[in-house]
Chain A
Amino acid sequence: MLQPYVPLVLMFALAAAFAVFSVAVAPFVGPRRDNRAKLDAYECGIEPSPQPVVGSGRMPVAYYLTAMLFILFDIEMVFLYPFAVSADALGLFGLVEIALFIITVGFAYAYVWRRGGLDWN
């Protein structure tokens, strides 16, 4: 049952070994010349702006919106794939069902568009 996945596991192992080896070996083969300015955040040479916590800082809310929309349409995609595989078997019934489904999502899509959710700035 899981036999077809063996090559994927091996490929995963090889890629992981390669990547981890590269990352691990890099500090040892390269030179080491410490310099406080070099280890600062790079901001084109000016004094780095203070960062409150590692990697934090505020980010535009539009990105969250994009992520939510992605989930909406990704789910739609996930429904469309099994339908596409067995569309011939489902026949007219499947066509009507999937058309209703796409139209329903289309309403949400039109609403988001209308409310400016797809605009940047």
Chain B
Amino acid sequence: MRTLVHAGPPLAQGPRNPVPELLADDPLWLIIVKVVAIFALLVLLTLFMIWFERRVVARMQHRIGPNRVGPAGLLQSLADGLKLAFKEDIRPVLADRWVYFLAPVISTIPAFLAFSVIPLGPEVSIFGERTALQLADLPVGVLVVLACSSMGVYGVVLAGWSSGSPYPLLGSLRSAAQVISYEIAMGLSFVAVILYSGTLSTSGIVAAQADRWFAWLLPVSFVIYVIAMVGETNRAPFDLPEAESELVGGFHTEYSSLKFALFFLSEYINMVTVSALATTLFLGGWHAPWPLSAVGDGVLNTGWWPLLWFLGKTLLFLFVFVWLRGTLPRLRYDQFMRLGWKVLVPVSLLWILAVTTIRVLRNTQGITSQQILVIGGIVLAVLLLVVFLIPDRPAPREDEVPLAGSDYPLPPLDLQVPKAPPRRRSVPVARLPVAERAAVTAPANAGATRDDANPAKEDGDGTA
């Protein structure tokens, strides 16, 4: 069909994106430098994140958290990692030999790979070579991230399967079901962003947000993505695959030593990646936040400054992860799946339909924003009216337990809670054995006088 063929240059949305050309002439040494730098950045962020999480959760629970190893305990996670390396490497007798070894590798590689399409900053100069602060800019950048997160599931499933133990198997199944369920919501939340930026390339999406971040423009997509990214990374309150109270440790129960460390590493890198992706897609990527973006004609949007904004926004999301963990209890599994399939998916689909309709009508029919708002308001009002007029479904009658006259064991409903005894004077001195009377007498007297309304007398007794 001729109408479907879209020839000619891609529709320009906002400023032209110079990143692909900048990256195209990178020499090999520069690519290697970038690969090593991003690898190091991810490992360092993981070490930092473990420390950060423990410190913040500790503060939320009125504890101190790790503070012994290094300044403010910053080297704690490094010490833990080293300790893990020198722990015994166990392979259970029932484990499948090769798959058991491969699973941590399979889950680590995509975790590193997914981050390589994230734009960290605009054009910079590294050792005299002009380039963009990004490892790879693919026309299908967003798809790469989705593909990598799907590949990571294989590591989890195979780890649980190959352990030859029931808890890891159940944990891995749960994890897989959870990740694929929330990946739907996550993938659907991208659609509106792609619609507005007109490209799948991550740098193109950032460039399209030069004026306005998509979080303001597409708030529903943003909220759905944030919920889905927590579900996708199996973090609290969606950490059902590792529910300690139900499944011991989840899919990595049988893993020890560095193999366990690799799972840990990939989990934290995945958190960093989804946070970075949230920054890229919704918070304008490396663009400076509003008051700063106006400083000096946008000078803070050039050079190495954007790296700072990017890391700041990513850390903001990472803090949200910790915050959620410190605040919310874990969901039950059926509640969790209901939220994913019955709330996030239909809301995403309706939102996509609405956004697409509005955008296309505005572009082709010349309908203005005011008209759309008015029509949308009318539609909303009609919907609300309809919802209001639909009679409530009668609540299902639960079988009532008779309050009296049955042999069903019931606690007395008029139970009198005995009054708490006064804290002092609990035992009359006269009833104590003679030997203890002398010891009790002085404090008992002090306590007795404290009930008096005369503070002067109390003071006098205290000094006596």
Interface size on A, residues (CB 8 A): 73
Tell me the interface secondary structure of chain B in the complex. Answer: helix
Q: Which of B6, B183, B258 contacts A22 (CB 8 A)?
A: B258
Beta-carbon contacts under 8 Å, A96-114 to B: 98-99, 102, 106, 109, 113
Tell me if B220 is interfacial: C-beta within 8 Å of chain A.
Answer: no
Tell me if B16 is interfacial: C-beta within 8 Å of chain A.
Answer: no
Given A16-B105, A39-B91, A74 and B166 touching (CB < 8 A)?
Answer: no
Complex CA distance for A91 and B195, rounded to whole angstroms: 12
Residues of B near A47 (CB, < 8 A) are none
Give the shortest distance, in Å, between A61 (CB) and chain B (any CB). 11
Give the shortest distance, in Å, between A44 (CB) and chain B (any CB). 7
- A84 & B191 in contact (Cβ 8 Å cutoff): yes
- B188 & A77 in contact (Cβ 8 Å cutoff): yes
Beta-carbon contacts under 8 Å, B44-90 to A: 85-90
Given A80-B191, A87-B359, A54 and B353 touching (CB < 8 A)?
Answer: no
- A40 & B39 in contact (Cβ 8 Å cutoff): no
Give the shortest distance, in Å, between A16 (CB) and chain B (any CB). 5
Complex CA distance for A39 and B94, rounded to whole angstroms: 8
Complex CA distance for A81 and B136, rounded to whole angstroms: 20
- A85 & B198 in contact (Cβ 8 Å cutoff): yes
- A41 & B94 in contact (Cβ 8 Å cutoff): yes
User: Would you give the 0/1 interface string for B315-345, flagging 1 where the beta carbon is closer than 8 Å to chain A?
Assistant: 0000000000000000001100110011001
- B346 & A22 in contact (Cβ 8 Å cutoff): no
- B165 & A48 in contact (Cβ 8 Å cutoff): yes
Complex CA distance for A22 and B166, rounded to whole angstroms: 26
Residues of B near A121 (CB, < 8 A) are 334
Interface size on B, residues (CB 8 A): 98
Residues of B near A54 (CB, < 8 A) are 94-96, 162, 164
- B104 & A91 in contact (Cβ 8 Å cutoff): no
- A41 & B113 in contact (Cβ 8 Å cutoff): no
Complex CA distance for A85 and B6, rounded to whole angstroms: 11
- B187 & A109 in contact (Cβ 8 Å cutoff): no
- B136 & A5 in contact (Cβ 8 Å cutoff): yes
Complex CA distance for A32 and B91, rounded to whole angstroms: 11
Q: Which residue of A lies closest to B340 (CB)?
A: A118
- B31 & A6 in contact (Cβ 8 Å cutoff): yes
Complex CA distance for A110 and B86, rounded to whole angstroms: 54
Residues of B near A6 (CB, < 8 A) are 28, 31, 136
- A102 & B352 in contact (Cβ 8 Å cutoff): yes
- A42 & B248 in contact (Cβ 8 Å cutoff): yes
Given A7-B31, A22-B262, A87-B360, A41 and B108 touching (CB < 8 A)?
Answer: no
Complex CA distance for A69 and B112, rounded to whole angstroms: 28
Residues of A near B31 (CB, < 8 A) are 6-7, 10
Give the shortest distance, in Å, between B413 (CB) and chain A (any CB). 32
User: Would you give the 0/1 interface string for A3-41, flagging 1 where the beta carbon is closer than 8 Å to chain B?
Assistant: 111111011101110111011011101111100001111
Give the shortest distance, in Å, between A88 (CB) and chain B (any CB). 5
- B89 & A30 in contact (Cβ 8 Å cutoff): yes
Beta-carbon contacts under 8 Å, A62-100 to B: 62-63, 66-67, 69-70, 73-74, 77, 80-81, 84-95, 98-99
- B364 & A92 in contact (Cβ 8 Å cutoff): yes
Tell me if B135 is interfacial: C-beta within 8 Å of chain A.
Answer: yes
Residues of B near A16 (CB, < 8 A) are 105, 109
User: Would you give the 0/1 interface string for B105-138, flagging 1 where the beta carbon is closer than 8 Å to chain A?
Assistant: 1001101110010000000000000000001111
Residues of B near A8 (CB, < 8 A) are 113, 116, 135-136, 138, 144
Give the shortest distance, in Å, between A6 (CB) and chain B (any CB). 6
- A59 & B113 in contact (Cβ 8 Å cutoff): no
Q: Which residue of A lies closest to B176 (CB)?
A: A63
Give the shortest distance, in Å, between A117 (CB) and chain B (any CB). 9
Q: Which of A48, A59, A93 contacts B173 (CB 8 A)?
A: A59
- B258 & A31 in contact (Cβ 8 Å cutoff): no
Tell me if B36 is interfacial: C-beta within 8 Å of chain A.
Answer: yes
Complex A-B: 23 CB contacts under 8 Å: A5-B136, A6-B136, A8-B116, A8-B135, A10-B32, A14-B112, A15-B109, A18-B39, A23-B101, A29-B85, A30-B88, A30-B89, A31-B88, A40-B92, A41-B163, A42-B248, A48-B165, A51-B165, A63-B177, A88-B360, A88-B363, A91-B360, A121-B334
The 5 A-B pairs with the shortest beta carbon distances in the complex, nearest first, are: A41-B165, A15-B112, A120-B334, A26-B258, A84-B194
Kindly list 11 other residue pairs between chains A and B, CB separation below 8 angstroms, not including A7-B31, A23-B104, A42-B167. Answer: A6-B136, A22-B261, A40-B93, A41-B92, A41-B94, A51-B165, A66-B177, A67-B180, A73-B184, A85-B194, A90-B3
Which residues on A are within 8 Å of B, measured CB to CB? 3-8, 10-12, 14-16, 18-20, 22-23, 25-27, 29-33, 38-44, 48-49, 51, 54-55, 57, 59-60, 62-63, 66-67, 69-70, 73-74, 77, 80-81, 84-95, 98-99, 102, 106, 109, 113, 118-121
